[in-house]
Amino acid sequence: MILQIALLAGLVLFSAFAILARDLIKSAISLAVASLFLGVIFFRMGAPYAGVFEISVVAGLITVLFVLTIALTKAEGDVRESTLARTVFPLFFVVFALIDVLVMKGLLRKVPVLAAAAEAGSFSDVLWKARTFDLVGQIAVILAGVFAVLALFRKRDHHE
Amino acid sequence: MNDAWTIYLAVAAALVLAGLYCLLTMRNLIKLFIGIEVVSKGVSLALLATGWARQSVLVAQSLVVTFIVVEVSLVATALALIINIYKNTKSLDVRKLARLKG
Tell me the per-residue pLDDT of A87-124, one tens digit each, with 9 for 90 and over: 888 888 888 888 888 888 788 777 776 666 667 778 78
Contact B27 A82 (CB under 8 A): yes
Contact B38, A24 (CB under 8 A): no
CA distance B32 to chain A (A): 9
CA distance A24 to chain B (A): 7
Which pLDDT score, from 0 to 100, does residue A124 have? 80
A82 pLDDT higher than 60? yes
Q: What is the DSSP string of A13-75?
A: HHHHHHHH-SSHHHHHHHHHHHHHHHHHHHHHTT-HHHHHHIIIIIIIIIHHHHHHHHHHH--
pTM above 0.80, yes or no: yes
Mean pLDDT of A23-47: 93
In terms of residues, how long is chain A?
A: 160
Query: Least CB-CB distance to B72: which of A61, A70, A119?
Result: A61
Which pLDDT score, from 0 to 100, does residue A116 have? 65
Query: Least CB-CB distance to A78: which of B9, B68, B93?
Result: B93
Tell me the per-residue pLDDT of B43-93, one tens digit each, with 9 for 90 and over: 999 999 999 988 888 889 999 999 999 999 999 999 999 998 888 888 888
Report the residue of B9, B11, B67 to disrupt the A interface, i.e. the one with the largest count of A CBs within 10 Å.
B11
Spatial distance between the Cα atoms of B44 and B34, rounded to a whole number of angstroms: 15
* Percentage of the residues of chain B whose pLDDT score is greater than 70: 95
Contact B29, A69 (CB under 8 A): no
Q: What is the DSSP letter of B94?
A: G
Which pLDDT score, from 0 to 100, does residue A67 have? 92
Q: What is the DSSP string of B17-76?
A: HHHHHHHHH--BHHHHHHHHHHHHHHHHHHHHHHHHHTT-HHHHHHHHHHHHHHHHHHHH
For residue A147, count other CB atoms closer than 10 A to its CB: 11
A25 pLDDT higher than 60? yes
Which pLDDT score, from 0 to 100, does residue A75 have? 59
- Amino acid (one-letter) located at A69: T
Query: Which domains, from first to last, does chain B contain?
Result: 2-96 (1.10.287.3510)
B24 to chain A: closest CA residue: A85
Contact A88, B13 (CB under 8 A): no
Contact B80 A41 (CB under 8 A): no
Spatial distance between the Cα atoms of A125 and A22, rounded to a whole number of angstroms: 45
Architecture of domain A2-116: Up-down Bundle (1.20)
Mean pLDDT score of chain A, rounded to an integer?
85
Domain boundaries, given as residue ranges, for chain A: 2-116, 120-160
Spatial distance between the Cα atoms of B4 and B9, rounded to a whole number of angstroms: 9
Q: Kindly state whether B31 is in contact with chain A, defined as any CB-CB distance less than 8 angstroms.
A: yes
Which pLDDT score, from 0 to 100, does residue B4 have? 84
CA distance B101 to chain A (A): 19
Spatial distance between the Cα atoms of A146 and A117, rounded to a whole number of angstroms: 39
B35 to chain A: closest CA residue: A19
A160 pLDDT higher than 70? no
Residues of B in contact with A79 (CB under 8 A): 27-28, 31, 91-93
Contacts within 8 Å (CB) and 24+ apart, A63-68:
A63/A28, A63/A29, A63/A31, A63/A32, A63/A35, A65/B75, A65/B76, A65/B79, A66/A24, A66/A28, A66/A31, A66/B30, A66/B33, A66/B34, A66/B75, A66/B79, A67/A25, A67/A28, A68/B79
As for the ipTM of the complex, it is 0.91
Contact B66 A137 (CB under 8 A): yes
Which pLDDT score, from 0 to 100, does residue A117 have? 64
Handedness of CA A136, A137, A142, A146 (dihedral sign): positive
* Partners of B93 in beta bridges: B28
CA distance A134 to chain B (A): 7
Which pLDDT score, from 0 to 100, does residue A109 have? 77
Query: Least CB-CB distance to A49: which of B27, B61, B70?
Result: B61
Q: Per-residue confidence at B1, pLDDT binned at 50, 70, 90?
A: low
Which pLDDT score, from 0 to 100, does residue A74 have? 76
